[in-house]
C-alpha cells in the first residue's frame, strides 16, 4: 500500500459524500504506532536485563533471578500462536490493543512488586501481553501493507528494531542508575499509552467476513503450550543447570517431541485449528522461511550476547558503552534492509536477498571464529558488517516471503508462527552457546590474561558453530521459489458503526 495524498470530497458533488467519511491516513503514520509496540517489547527485555543486579540487591532471591527472564520468555513463546489465531478469529485491532493494555498493566505491577516471587508472577503475565504485541504487530503490518509493497517500509521496521537493540542497554543503565530499578518497568507506560492512543485513533482495517461460529482449539493450545514450555526449559537448563545428557534435559526433549506429535495430530482433525496445517503445507516457501528465521535468530542471539563480552574482556572495550559496540552490525542491518526493500518493491524480485544474506551471515560468523586475543577492532567491525548484511537480507525478507505464501485469513497464525520460530531459534542458540562458553571458561580465573584467552576460545567455538548452522539457512534460501508477491487488494467498506470510510493506505 502506498502513501497516498489525502483526498478531499469531489468539488462537483460535495453533498454526496457520507457525513462520517474519513480521509485516508498515510500507512507510514499508522505503521509508526504499530511499530511502537515492537519497540516497547524489545526495549523491555534489554532494560530489565540491565536492571537485574539491582533488583536482586533490593528484593533478594538470587537463586530465582533467572526465572524473571525465563518466565517472561516462556509466556511470550506460548502465547504468541494463541494471540495470532485470536487476531484471525476476531477483530485484529482490538486483540492487538488488548495485548498492549495487558502489557502496560503488568508493567506497573512489576514496578510495584514487593518480592522476587511476586515479580516473577507479574513477569509471566507481562510475557503474555508481549506475545500478543509481537504477533499482532507483524500481522497488522501484513494486513496494512501487501507483500508487493512491503519493501518500501522494511527500512522503517529495521530502524525501530535497531533503536530497540541499541537503546535498551543504554536506557536500562541510565534509568536504573538515576531512578531505581522499578522505573525499568514504569518507563513502559508513557510509550505504551502513546501506542494505544495512536493505534486507537489512526488504525482502521478493512471489514472481514467470517462464516460460521467461532471455535477455540483448546486442545491445540494446551498441547502446543506444553511442547513450547518443555523445549524452552530444556534449552534454558541444558549445559548450565543440568548436563545435556542428564535425564532432566533428555526427558524434557522427549516430552516436547511427544506433545508436538500430539499437537500435529490434533490440528489435522479439529474444525478450526490453532495453526492450520495448510499454512505449512500450502507452499514450500513457508517452512523454508521458518528455517531461515530459526537459524538467523540463533545466530543473532549469539552475536548480540557474546560479541560485546568478547570486545570488553579481550579487546578492552568500555563496558559502559556496551550497547554501542554493536553499532556497525545495526547500521549494516538497516542499510541492507532498506536496499532490499526498495529493490523488491521496484522489481518484485526477492530470492537473491535471502541467499546473499545467508552467505553473508556465514562469512561474518566464520570471520569472528578466527578472532583471537590479538585481533584488532577493525577486523571485528568488518565481521559485524557481514553479520548485519546477513540479518538485513535474510531475516526481514523471510517475514515477507512467509506471509506471501499463506492466505489472508491465516495471516495472524502465520505471523505468530514466524515470530515463534525466531524466538525458539534464539532459545536454542542461547542454550548451545552458553554451554560452549561455560565449558571453555569454567575452572579458570575470572579475570586477567588467562581469562581473556578462555573467552577468546569460547567465542571461537560459538561463532564456528554459528557458521556451520548457517549452512542450513543458505540451503533453505536456495530452495525458495520466487512466486509473485501479492499486491493491494480492493478496499472494502468498513463495517464498524459510525465509520463509513474505506481502508486506504
**DSSP output for 40-74:** HHHHHHHHHHHHHHHHHHHH--GGGHHHHHHHHHH
Mean pLDDT of 149-173: 69
Mean pLDDT of 31-45: 81
Tell me what pLDDT residue 3 has: 45
Mean pLDDT of 432-448: 78
Query: Among the listed ranges 17-31, 171-185, 366-380, which one has the minimum average pLDDT value?
Result: 17-31
**For 59-115, how does the pLDDT look when each residue is reduced to its tens digit (9 = 90+)?**
887 767 777 877 888 888 888 888 888 887 888 888 899 999 999 999 999 999 998
Q: Over pLDDT 70: what percentage of the chain?
A: 83
Mean pLDDT of 286-309: 84
Tell me what pLDDT residue 347 has: 83
Asked whether the CA dihedral 476, 477, 483, 488 is positive or negative, the reply is positive
Confidence band, pLDDT 50/70/90 cuts, at residue 372: confident
DSSP summary character for residue 241: T
223 vs 127: CA distance, rounded Å: 19
Radius of gyration of the chain (CA): 23
Query: Among the listed ranges 30-39, 102-111, 253-262, which one has the minimum average pLDDT value?
Result: 30-39
Torsion of CA 71, 466, 168, 165, to 10 degrees: -130
Q: Over pLDDT 90: what percentage of the chain?
A: 20
What are the C-alpha distances in Å from 264 to residues 222, 347, 398? 12, 38, 24
Q: Is the pLDDT of residue 424 over 90?
A: no
SS3 for 330-384, per residue? Answer: HHHHHHHHHHHHHHHHHHCCCCHHHHHHHHHHHHHHHHHHCCCCCCCHHHHHHHH
Q: Is the pLDDT of residue 257 over 80?
A: yes
Nearest to 371 by CA among 289, 460, 453: 460
Nearest to 236 by CA among 72, 422, 462: 72
Tell me what pLDDT residue 9 has: 40
| Cα 356 versus chain centre, distance | 22
332 vs 386: CA distance, rounded Å: 8
392 vs 344: CA distance, rounded Å: 13
Greater pLDDT, 212 or 13: 212
Q: Is the pLDDT of residue 24 over 70?
A: no
Q: Is the pLDDT of residue 195 over 80?
A: yes
Phi then psi for residue 406, to 5 deg, are -120, 165
209 vs 196: CA distance, rounded Å: 25
Write out the three cell numbers for 309.
563480552
β-partners of residue 242 are 238
| Cα 323 versus chain centre, distance | 19
What are the C-alpha distances in Å from 385 to residues 161, 249, 292, 304, 329? 16, 36, 19, 13, 5
446 vs 442: CA distance, rounded Å: 9
Amino acid at each position: 500500500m502506498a502513501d497516498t495524498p489525502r483526498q478531499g470530497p469531489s468539488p462537483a458533488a460535495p453533498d454526496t459524500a457520507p457525513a462520517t467519511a474519513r480521509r485516508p491516513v498515510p500507512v507510514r503514520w499508522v505503521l509508526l504506532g504499530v511499530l511502537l509496540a515492537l519497540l516497547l517489547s524489545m526495549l523491555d527485555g534489554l532494560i530489565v536485563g540491565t536492571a537485574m543486579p539491582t533488583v536482586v540487591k533490593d528484593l533478594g532471591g538470587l537463586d530465582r533471578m533467572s526465572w524473571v527472564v525465563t518466565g517472561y520468555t516462556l509466556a511470550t513463546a506460548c502465547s504468541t500462536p494463541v494471540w495470532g489465531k485470536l487476531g484471525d478469529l476476531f477483530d485484529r485491532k482490538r486483540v492487538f490493543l488488548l495485548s498492549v493494555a495487558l502489557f502496560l498493566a503488568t508493567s506497573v505491577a512489576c514496578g510495584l512488586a514487593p518480592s522476587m516471587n511476586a515479580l516473577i508472577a507479574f513477569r509471566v503475565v507481562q510475557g503474555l501481553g508481549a506475545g500478543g504485541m509481537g504477533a499482532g504487530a507483524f500481522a497488522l503490518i501484513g494486513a496494512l501493507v501487501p507483500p508487493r509493497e512491503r519493501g518500501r517500509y522494511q527500512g522503517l521496521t529495521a530502524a525501530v528494531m535497531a533503536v530497540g537493540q541499541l537503546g535498551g542497554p543504554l536506557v536500562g543503565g541510565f534509568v536504573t542508575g538515576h531512578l531505581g530499578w522499578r522505573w525499568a518497568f514504569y518507563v513502559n507506560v508513557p510509550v505504551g499509552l502513546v501506542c494505544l492512543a495512536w493505534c486507537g485513533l489512526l488504525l482502521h482495517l478493512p471489514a472481514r467476513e467470517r462464516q460460521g461460529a467461532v471455535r477455540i482449539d483448546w486442545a491445540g493450545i494446551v498441547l502446543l503450550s506444553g511442547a513450547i514450555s518443555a523445549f524452552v526449559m530444556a534449552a534454558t537448563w541444558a549445559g548450565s543447570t543440568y548436563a545435556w545428557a542428564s535425564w532432566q534435559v533428555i526427558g524434557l526433549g522427549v516430552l516436547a517431541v511427544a506433545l508436538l506429535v500430539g499437537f500435529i495430530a490434533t490440528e489435522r482433525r479439529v474444525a478450526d485449528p490453532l495453526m492450520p496445517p495448510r499454512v505449512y503445507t500450502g507452499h514450500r516457501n513457508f517452512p523454508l522461511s521458518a528455517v531461515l528465521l530459526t537459524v538467523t535468530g540463533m545466530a543473532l542471539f549469539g552475536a548480540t550476547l557474546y560479541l560485546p563480552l568478547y570486545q570488553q574482556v579481550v579487546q578492552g572495550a568500555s563496558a559502559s558503552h556496551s550497547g554501542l559496540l554493536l553499532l556497525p552490525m545495526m547500521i549494516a542491518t538497516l542499510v541492507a534492509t532498506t536496499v532490499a526493500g526498495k529493490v523488491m518493491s521496484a522489481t518484485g524480485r526477492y530470492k537473491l536477498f535471502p541467499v546473499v544474506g545467508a552467505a553473508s551471515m556465514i562469512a561474518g560468523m566464520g570471520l569472528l571464529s578466527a578472532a583471537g586475543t590479538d585481533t584488532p577492532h577493525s577486523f571485528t567491525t568488518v565481521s559485524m558488517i557481514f553479520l548485519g548484511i546477513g540479518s538485513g537480507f535474510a531475516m526481514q525478507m523471510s517475514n515477507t516471503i512467509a506471509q506471501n505464501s499463506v492466505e489472508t485469513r491465516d495471516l495472524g497464525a502465520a505471523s505468530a508462527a514466524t515470530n515463534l520460530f525466531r524466538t525458539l531459534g534464539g532459545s536454542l542458540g542461547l542454550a548451545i552457546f552458553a554451554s560452549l562458553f561455560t565449558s571453555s571458561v569454567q575452572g579458570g580465573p575470572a579475570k586477567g590474561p588467562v581469562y581473556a584467552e578462555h573467552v577468546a576460545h569460547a567465542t571461537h567455538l560459538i561463532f564456528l558453530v554459528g557458521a556451520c548452522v548457517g549452512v542450513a539457512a543458505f540451503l533453505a534460501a536456495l530452495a525458495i521459489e520466487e512466486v509473485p508477491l501479492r499486491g493491494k487488494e480492493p478496499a472494502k467498506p468498513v463495517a464498524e458503526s459510525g465509520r463509513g470510510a474505506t481502508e486506504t493506505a
